[in-house]
Amino acid sequence: MRNRVQRLALPLSATMTAVVVAGCGTGGSDGGADGDPLTMGITDKVTAVDPAAGYDVGSWIVFNNVFQSLLSFPKGATKPEPEAAQSCKFTDEASKTFDCTLRGGLKFSNGEALTSEDVKFSFERTIKINDENGPAVLLDSIKTIDTPS
């Protein structure tokens, strides 16, 4: 019986490898350059479409694809990098003051300029709403938000 299993192992292994590799193809060469919309499917439940009211995986998948953040984690990274921010860093040794500078030329979808006051509003709105399912609890350590320029 052992010889029979060994004889079947190689063809079965080769067939499984071929099936897996065939699934890795792109299916086309234009890379979606034809302008067709991208449809994203998820199995996680989306509980909110307002960033102040949702802090679950499903909702954050939507947020990350719709809204811009000051910082974001590139694929596979463990350290955030600036997205809407030009730079962000702690400015004191106790790591209590975090300073971000926005990139220039950022605009809302309606064409209006995005300012540091808008970013401040977003943080303060989340804190004020304080939704029990939202991320406000993560912002409890914020004492003040200054927007000098």
Mean pLDDT, residues 47-76: 93
Mean per-residue pLDDT, 1-8: 45
Q: Express each pLDDT in 106-138 by its tens digit.
A: 999 999 999 999 999 999 999 999 999 999 999
- Dihedral angle over CA of 129, 132, 136, 140, nearest 10: 110
Structure tokens at 72: 């974001």
Residues comprising the chain, all counted: 149
pTM of the entire predicted model: 0.69
The answer to whether the CB of 10 falls within 8 A of the CB of 27 is no
Residue 18: what pLDDT?
A: 40
Tell me the pLDDT of the chain averaged across its residues.
82
User: φ and ψ at 124, to 5 degrees?
Assistant: -65, -35
Q: Compute CA 96 distance to the chain's CA centroid, rounded to the nearest angstrom.
A: 25
What is the rounded (10 degree) CA torsion for 14, 20, 22, 24?
-140
| 8 A C-beta contact, residue 129 and residue 52 | yes
Does the pLDDT value for residue 45 go beyond 70?
yes
CATH class of the region 57-138: alpha beta
